[in-house]
Chain A
Amino acid sequence: MNQPNPFQPNRRDFLGGMGLGFGSLALGALLHQDGLAARPHHTPRAKSVIWIFLSGGYSHLETFDPKPALNRHAGKTFDKAPFKNPLDSPVLEKRSRSVIEKVRERYPVIYPLQVGFKQHGQCGVGITDWWPHLAGCADDIAFVRNMYTTDNDHAAENQIHTGRHKLDPQQPSIGAWVHYGLGSLNDNLPQFVVLGGPTRTDTRLSIDSNYLGPQHAGVPLKIDPKNPLPFGRRAAGKLPAEQRNEFDLIAGLNQLTAAERPHDADLRARIRAYELAFKMQAAVPDAMDFKPETADIRKMYGLENKTTKAAGQRCLAARRLVERGVRFVQVFPTPYGKWDSHRTLKKLHAAQSAAVDQPVAALLKDLKQRGLWDDVTVVFCTEFGRTPGMEQRSGNKDGRDHHPHGFTIWFAGAGIAGGTIHGQTDELGFHAIEPAHYVTDMHATVLHLLGLDPEKLDIPGRKRLDIDRGEPIKEIFNFS
C-alpha cells in the first residue's frame, strides 16, 4: 500500500539543505508538513473547530425540531393522520440499514412531544423548554433540520464521524482529515484533541485516522492537569534539571549521528519530535489547568454544579485548547449512549439536556466575549434522531426508537450565519425533506470553512466516492 509517510526522506529533502541548525522556523515547517497541505486550498473562514457530539441519539423532536402535529394527532397511527404515510416512502428501507438483520420494527403510533416548546430569537426557531440557555443563543446558531444517516443502530456514531456505514470499509474520521489537511497552529500541543471520549473502545473509529496514519488520529486528553495524556506525565521524583539534561544528551548524541548521516530525514524528524515532546509535557497540563479561570467563568460553565460539571469542564477545556491554536477539538459532553431513550424519554432527555445546555451556551458566549467567534466554528450533533412513533418493543410505551431518516444538528461561530433555519422534516418529523443532507455534508462544511477542498485531500490509491466527501451546506454560511 502506498501509505503516506510524511517523514519519508524523498518528501523531506527540502529540509536537507538546512543542515543541522534547525531553528523554530524549521520546526514549524516540519510540523506543517505533517499533513498534505501546508497551506489551505482557499481562503479559510475558520481556524479551529469544536465538534460537540452527544452519544446515543437525541430526539430532534424534543430538542430543535418540535412538531406540533405530534400533539394534535397523538395516539393515531400514521395512516390515520392527515399526512402522507411516511412508511410508504421509497427511501425508507434505503436509509435504515441494519448491522444486525431485522431488529428494527416500525412504530406507527404517534407519540406526543414530551416537553413544551416556544419560538426563540429573531429567527423564531422552535426550541423545547429543556434548553433555556441555548434558546437564548438562537440567533447565533444555524440549525440544519434535514439530516439523514443510514445506520439505524449506534454504529451511526462512527458513521457521522467517518461517513461510512459500519458494514462498509472504513475511512478516516473528520478530525483526522482536518489534521491531515492543515497541520498545526501550535508547536506544543497535539492538534486533534478528544475530550470525554470515546468512552468505549468500539467507538474509537470516531477519532481514528485509518490510512492517514496514527500521527493524524485524535489524542484523547483527560481533564486532569496532573495526567492529561498517555505517557505525558513526567516521572515522579525526577528533577526538572535532571530531565532537561537527559533531553540535552539525547539531542547531543543524535546530533553526532546526524553529522555522519546528513541525509537521514527520519533522524532529523526525531530530533524535532523530542523538542516537541519536551514542550508538550508542560503545554498540555497547562492547557488543562483551570486555575487561571475566574470565578465568573467557572460559574458560567457550571463547574460548581454537579449536573453540569462534566460537560462544563470539557467545554471550557475546548475553549482553552482552541485559544492555544488546536485545530480540532472533539467533545463528548455526555457518556456513551446516554441519549438513547427507548423508554422514559422524558426523564432521560430532561436530565441530559440539563447537563449540556448551560455549558454549551456558555461556550458560545465565551467564544464571543473573547473575540474567538470569528476563528472557531462550533458543531453540535448526534448520531441520529428518534422516531415520531412510540416505541412498543417489549412493552415500552414512553420512548422513541432510533431514527436515521431525519434529524437536526447545528453550527455556530466562524463563517456561520446565526439565526438560520435550514431544511426541514415533514409534518410528523419523520423524513428529512429533499434535498436532504447526508452526514458527510457536515464534513464538507467544516472543511470548506477551514479552507480545504475534500477532493484535493484524497490519497492516491485511496479513492473516495463523492458521497464520502459530501457537499458544503452553503445556505448556512455568512459569506457567499
Chain B
Amino acid sequence: MNKAWLIALALLTTLSVHAADYLRDIKPVLKARCYECHGGLKQKAGLRLDTAANVRKGAKGELVITPGKPGESLLIEKITTADLDERMPPEGEPLKANEIAALKEWIAAGAPVPAQEEAQANPRDHWSFQPIKRPPVPALNQPNPIDNFLEAKRREHNLKANPPAPAATQLRRVYLDLIGLPPTRDQLKAFQKSAGRNPDSAFEKVVAELLASPQHGERWGRHWMDIWRYSDWYGRRPSNEIRYSQRHIWRWRDWIIESVNADKGYDRMLTEMLAADEVAPADTDALRATGFLGRNWYKFDRNTWLFETVERTGEGLLGLTFRCARCHDHKFDPVTQKEYYQFRAFFEPHGFRTDVLAVGTGTETDNGKSQVLKDGLARAYDAEPGRPTFLFRRGDDRQPLKDDPLSPATPAAFGRIPLAIQPVSLPPESWYPALNPAVLKSSYAQAEKAIRNAEASVKKAESNEAAARKALADFDAKKSQPPKPENLWLTDNFKKRRDDTWKIVNGEWVYEKGRLAQKKVGTFHTMVSLANHPRDFRARVRYIAREPGNYHSVGVFFDAVDLRAAQAVYTSTTGKSSAVQAFHRTGGREIYPPAGVVKRPIKLNEEITLDLAVRGPWLNVWVNGRLDIVYQMPLARRDGKFALWVHSGVAEFLEVRVGKLPAQFALAKAKPGSLASPFGKLTKESFASAVESAEKAKAVAGQQLKVAQLELAALKARVAAERAKLKKADENLAKTAARAEREAAVAKAELAGLEAADDKQRAAAGKALKTAQANLKKDDAKYTALGKAYPKQSTGRRSALARWLIDRRNPRTARVAVNHIWARHFGKPLVPNTANFGLVGKPPTHPKLLDWLAAELMDNSWRMKHLHRLIVTSAAYRQSTVVGSEAPRKADRDNNFLSRMNSRRMEAELVRDSMLAAARELDLKTGGPELADNLGQTSRRRSLYFRTTPDNKMQMLELFDLANPNECYERRESVMPQQALALLNSALALDLSRILARKLAAEAKGPEVFVAAAFEWVLSRSPSKEEMAASLKFLEQQEARLAKGGTPFTGANAAKVPAAKEPAQRARENLVQVLFNHNDFVTIR
C-alpha cells in the first residue's frame, strides 16, 4: 500500500498528469475532518475551512496557506507535525498520505478557487431553529386550508389529487384511525345511506362522534405511549424485583388516555408530564403524568437513568438528537456538550417515590430487600434539591469535571426565551401524601366498606345460625337422608368411556365388565376431569386395589390447575404397613406433610370407599365410613380439576361422585370423631356441630365488625392529630389517637383468637392480646403516623423547563407534535425523521403546511382534537389510495405530495382489537392495572392494556411489529409468514371465526346474505361480484369436502370454541377465518 503511494506520489510530482481537484479531492476531506471546528457552526481560532476562499483567507489576518508554496503553508505543517498536541485534527487518526498529498498539490497549483462556492450555512440558521410564523394559506379555492397547501405543492410538481375513496373505505379508514376499531355493519349501512345524500356532512358527523368516543383516547393514547416510550415495570418478575420503569405506572397510561379524551392541551400535557409535582402538587390525578419521567428510572445506575431522560426528552418532544453531545459537542447540530449537561441539570434533583392512595394499603417484598406498597401512585419529586450537575469528560461518568458545577439552561440555538426558575413551596398534602384529601377520602371509603362488609357478614351469620338451629330442632333420625344427589357435579359408574368428561393422561385405562381398570404398574398413572370441580366439595370414590405393584396407592387429585400443582388423598398398602394420607404437589413435586398421614388397615382385592369433604383449607377423609383424616391443607386452594390416579399398582374403579358440599355439612376441624361422611345419612351430631360452627362464625363476624369500626375511629383520630400537628402538636388529640389505635389493636387480637384454627395459633393470639391489653393501659401520646413525609420544597427547575418547552417562541415543540400527528393520519410524516429535526434529518416536504399546522395547534390552546378534525376532513385524507396512471406514480414514487392516500398495514393492536370487534366480542372496559401478556389469546380486553416491556410482549402482537418500548417514533409494517400462522392457528383467530360465523348464521338467511354480512363485518365493505362467486363456491365445495371427512391434524387444540360439527356451518367458520386472513383485513385502504 505504502509503496504504491510512493510510486503514485512520484508520478504526481514528476508528471503532474492528474492534478488534484479541489471539489473532488480536497473539499470532502476538509468537510469530514475539519468543518466541525472550522466551518459554519464553529470557527476555532477564527478559522473557517468551508470554502476555498475561506481557506485562502486564513485566520484573523494570518494566512494558513501560501498559494504555490505548500512547504511554507501553516495548514500543511499543522496536519503533518509529529507533535501530537499540535497536530490537526486533534481527534482520530491523522489525515492520510494521499489526502495530504492532494492538499499540497492544490496549494502548489496556486490553490485555485472554484466558481460560486457557497459557504457552509450556520447551523443556527437551520429551518427548525427559526420561530414558527403562521404562513398565509394559498388561495386555491379549497374549503380546507390543508388542501390549499397540498394542492400548491401538487401543482408545482404537475400532480393531481385522487378522487375521494368509496364511502365504505373512508368510513373504515377514519374509524380505525380515530378509535382503532372498525365500524359495525349497522354503522357501515347507516353511513352509506347518509353519505349518499350528503357525503361531507355525513363524514363530519361521524368524525365528531368518533372524537367524542372514549375509544379515541385509547387509540391516540397508544400513539403517544409509543413516542413517550411507555413501558410497564420490568426486571425479575419471579422475585418481584423492579429494575426499570415504575410499579403501578399503568396510572400514567390511564392519564394519557383520559387526557386525550378530555382534549387537554398538548402544552398542559407536557407540563404535567415534566412537572405535575410543581404545578399541581396536590392533584393525585395530574401527578400520574410524571410517569413520563419515572419510566426512565433504572435501579442500578442513576447516570443511565438521567442520560435516558435527557436524550428521550430531546428526541420525543424536541426532535433533537442529544445523544452525540453526551460525549462531545454535537458534530452537526448547534448543541454543545456543556448544553447537554445543563439540560440534565433540570432533572438532576428529581427522584421517584410511590405515594399511598389509601392509608392502610399493604406492602409486598421487592426481591427480599425492601417493602414496597402493593398499590400506589408512582410520581416524581425533587428528592435532592442541592445535587450538583457536572459535565462528564467524554461522557464517562467516572470523569466528572467537579470544578465546574452546571446550572440548568436550554440550548442557545433555540433562541432566547427567558427561564425563570423559582423554588416551589409545596402544600402539606403534597409532602405528606397521606393527608391528601383524595387519599383520605379513599382511606375512609375503604374503612367504611370494611364496616359494611362486616355488617353483611353478621347478618348472614345470624341467619345461618337460625337455620342451623331449626334444622337441629327438626331433626328426625328416621327421616334423615344423605344430601341429595342432584347436587352432584360429576357422577360416573364407569359403564362406558366418557371423553366429554375425562382425559387420560398416562397409564392404561380400560373399561371392562362395567368397571374402569388401570392396568399398568407405574408412576402416578392419571385420568383427569376436563372441567374444574366446585371449590368446596364432597367426593366419593369406590375402588379395589389389586396385584401386581409395590405400594398399591390409589387416590385422587383435586385443585389440579395442571398436574404440577394439586392437592391429593390416597390409600396405600405394602402388605407390611398401610395408610390413608393427604399430601400435595407443587412445582411438579410431591410434598408429604406428616400431619396428613393416618395409619390404618387397607386391604387388597377388597372394595374401598374413600369419602372426602373439603371446605376452604379444611379436609376430612373417611375410609369405609370412618373419619380418619382431619387436616388443614398447607397449599393454598385454587380452582382446578379432579383426577383419579394409581401409583405403583393397578386398580379397578367402581364409582365416582363429586358435588358441592352441602351448606349444613359442618366439617370436623379438631380431630377425628364420629362425624359421618357427607355421603352417609346425616346424624344428629352433624346438625349439632353445624349449630356450633354457625355460632362461632357469628362471633367472628361480630368481632370483625367491631375491629372495622374501631379502625375507622382510630384512623379519624390519627388524621385529626396529624392535621393539628401541621400547626402545632395537640397533646389531647394525640392521646385520643393513641388510645383509639390501641383499642382497635385489642379488638384485632381478640379476633385472631376467635379465628385460631389450632393450639399454636390460639397461643400466639393469646400472647398478642396480652401485649395489646398492656399497651391500652399506657397513657402516652404515641400513635402511628399516617405515612411518610418528604421535602417541603421543590426546585422549580422542571416547571421552568416545561414553560420553556411550550413557549410560543420555542421553534420545535409544536412542529414536532404536529409532525407526529400528521404521520399517524397519513402513514408518512411531513418531516421524514420524526425524532431528528437537525441538520442530518431531511427537510419537511411541506414546510409551510408544517408551520401553519403548528401555529394552528398553538392558537387553539394546543387542543389536538381540533387538529384531528381538520386533518381527517381534508380532501387529501379522504382521497382514494388507488395508484393511478403510470406517469404520476413515477414522478412521485414515494407519494411525498399526497396525490393519493397511503395504504397502510394495521398496527399490532388494531389487528387483534379489530378481530375482537368484528366478532362482537370486544370488552370495552377501560383502564386499570396491566394485564398479563400471556392472556392475549383468551382475554377480550383491548390490546393496549396488556403488559408491554422490553422483556414482556404479547407474542401475537410482537409478530405484528408492536412498539419497541425503548424507542418507537414510528411503527414498522413488516410482512412475515409468522403473521399468517398467527391468524391461521392461534386460539384467538379460531375462536373468533367460529363465534362470528355462529352469530352470522343465526342472523343471516341464505349463503349470499351470509357472505355479504361476513365481508361487511370483517372487511367493512361488500364483496365484489367475483368475491361473492368465489366465496359461494368455497362454501359449497368446502361443505362437500368436510362431509367426506378424513384424518384431521392431531394434537392438543389451543382453541376454546370447538369447530361446528355440521359441515355447512364449519365451512362458514372457515370462510370467516379466511376473511380475517385477507390482505384487506390487516390493510387500511
Residues of A within 8 A of B (CB): 1-3, 5, 7, 9-10, 13, 99-101, 167, 169, 190, 201-202, 204, 213-215, 219, 226-227, 229-243, 245-246, 249-250, 252-254, 256-257, 260-261, 263-264, 266-267, 269-271, 273-274, 276-278, 280-281, 461
12 contacts between A and B (CB under 8 A): A1-B969, A1-B970, A190-B978, A202-B234, A226-B1051, A233-B1054, A238-B1049, A242-B1041, A242-B1070, A246-B1077, A270-B975, A276-B977
The answer to whether A246 and B1070 touch (CB under 8 A), given A214-B959, A214-B961, A280-B981, is yes
Partner of B1079, one of A10, A246, A249, A267: A267
Contacts of A260 in B (CB 8 A): 882
CB pair B1049–A235 under 8 Å, yes or no, is yes
The answer to whether A227 and B1079 touch (CB under 8 A), given A256-B1026, A273-B977, is no
Asked if B973 CB lies within 8 Å of chain A CBs, one says: yes
CB pair A273–B979 under 8 Å, yes or no, is yes
Instruction: Choose, from B285-293, B383-391, B740-748, B950-958, the stretch at the interface.
Output: B950-958
The answer to whether A7 and B984 touch (CB under 8 A), given A237-B1048, A245-B1037, A273-B979, is no
In the complex, besides A226-B1051, A246-B1073, A253-B1075, 11 extra interface pairs with C-beta distance below 8 angstroms are A1-B834, A230-B978, A230-B981, A231-B984, A241-B1041, A242-B1042, A245-B1037, A246-B984, A246-B1070, A261-B882, A276-B977
Contacts of B159 in A (CB 8 A): none
CB pair A231–B977 under 8 Å, yes or no, is no
CB pair B903–A256 under 8 Å, yes or no, is no
The answer to whether A204 and B951 touch (CB under 8 A), given A230-B981, A280-B977, is yes
A75 to chain B, nearest CB (A): 34
CB pair B300–A101 under 8 Å, yes or no, is yes
Contacts of B832 in A (CB 8 A): 2
Contacts of B894 in A (CB 8 A): 10
Number of B interface residues, CB 8 Å?
Answer: 78
Closest residue of A by beta carbon distance from B988:
A231
CB pair B980–A261 under 8 Å, yes or no, is no
Contacts of B972 in A (CB 8 A): 3, 5, 213-214
CB pair A213–B974 under 8 Å, yes or no, is yes
Give A237 to B956 CA distance when docked, in angstroms.
22
Asked if B1059 CB lies within 8 Å of chain A CBs, one says: yes
Contacts of B958 in A (CB 8 A): 214
Give A185 to B985 CA distance when docked, in angstroms.
26
CB pair A1–B300 under 8 Å, yes or no, is no
Contacts of B973 in A (CB 8 A): 5, 7, 266
CB pair B974–A274 under 8 Å, yes or no, is no
CB pair A254–B1079 under 8 Å, yes or no, is yes
Partner of B300, one of A99, A215, A267, A277: A99
Contacts of A2 in B (CB 8 A): 832-833
Chain B, range 1037-1059, C-beta contacts under 8 Å to A: 1037-1038, 1041-1042, 1045-1055, 1058-1059
Instruction: Choose, from B503-511, B513-521, B1027-1035, the stretch at the interface.
Output: B1027-1035
Asked if B1080 CB lies within 8 Å of chain A CBs, one says: yes
B505 to chain A, nearest CB (A): 16
Partner of A237, one of B323, B984, B1030, B1059: B1059
The answer to whether A249 and B1031 touch (CB under 8 A), given A254-B1078, A277-B984, is yes
Contacts of B961 in A (CB 8 A): 213-214
Closest residue of A by beta carbon distance from B983:
A231
Contacts of A269 in B (CB 8 A): 975
CB pair B1059–A7 under 8 Å, yes or no, is no
CB pair B974–A202 under 8 Å, yes or no, is no
Partner of B1049, one of A7, A204, A237: A237
B559 to chain A, nearest CB (A): 27
CB pair B985–A201 under 8 Å, yes or no, is no
Give A52 to B974 CA distance when docked, in angstroms.
29
Asked if B905 CB lies within 8 Å of chain A CBs, one says: yes
Give A2 to B834 CA distance when docked, in angstroms.
9
Contacts of B1037 in A (CB 8 A): 245
Give A99 to B1045 CA distance when docked, in angstroms.
60
Give A236 to B1070 CA distance when docked, in angstroms.
14
Contacts of A219 in B (CB 8 A): 978
Contacts of B1051 in A (CB 8 A): 226-227, 233, 236
CB pair A245–B1055 under 8 Å, yes or no, is no
Give A249 to B951 CA distance when docked, in angstroms.
37
The answer to whether A281 and B1079 touch (CB under 8 A), given A5-B972, A240-B1049, is no
CB pair A277–B977 under 8 Å, yes or no, is yes
Contacts of B977 in A (CB 8 A): 273-274, 276-277, 280
The answer to whether A1 and B835 touch (CB under 8 A), given A231-B978, A235-B985, A249-B1071, is yes
Give A227 to B1083 CA distance when docked, in angstroms.
29
Give A154 to B1048 CA distance when docked, in angstroms.
46
CB pair B981–A238 under 8 Å, yes or no, is no
B977 to chain A, nearest CB (A): 4
Contacts of B979 in A (CB 8 A): 273
A332 to chain B, nearest CB (A): 17
Asked if B9 CB lies within 8 Å of chain A CBs, one says: no
Give A215 to B974 CA distance when docked, in angstroms.
7
CB pair B1038–A242 under 8 Å, yes or no, is yes
Q: Which of A190, A253, A277 has the most CB of B within 10 A?
A: A253
A224 to chain B, nearest CB (A): 10
Closest residue of A by beta carbon distance from B981:
A231
Asked if B917 CB lies within 8 Å of chain A CBs, one says: no
Closest residue of A by beta carbon distance from B1050:
A236
Asked if B1024 CB lies within 8 Å of chain A CBs, one says: yes
CB pair A202–B304 under 8 Å, yes or no, is no
A250 to chain B, nearest CB (A): 5
B249 to chain A, nearest CB (A): 18
B172 to chain A, nearest CB (A): 15
B1017 to chain A, nearest CB (A): 15
Closest residue of A by beta carbon distance from B840:
A461
Contacts of B1066 in A (CB 8 A): 242
Chain B, range 985-1005, C-beta contacts under 8 Å to A: 985-986, 990
Asked if B486 CB lies within 8 Å of chain A CBs, one says: no
Q: Which 3 pairs from chain A and chain B are nearest by CB? A: A277-B980, A236-B1053, A277-B977
CB pair B951–A245 under 8 Å, yes or no, is no
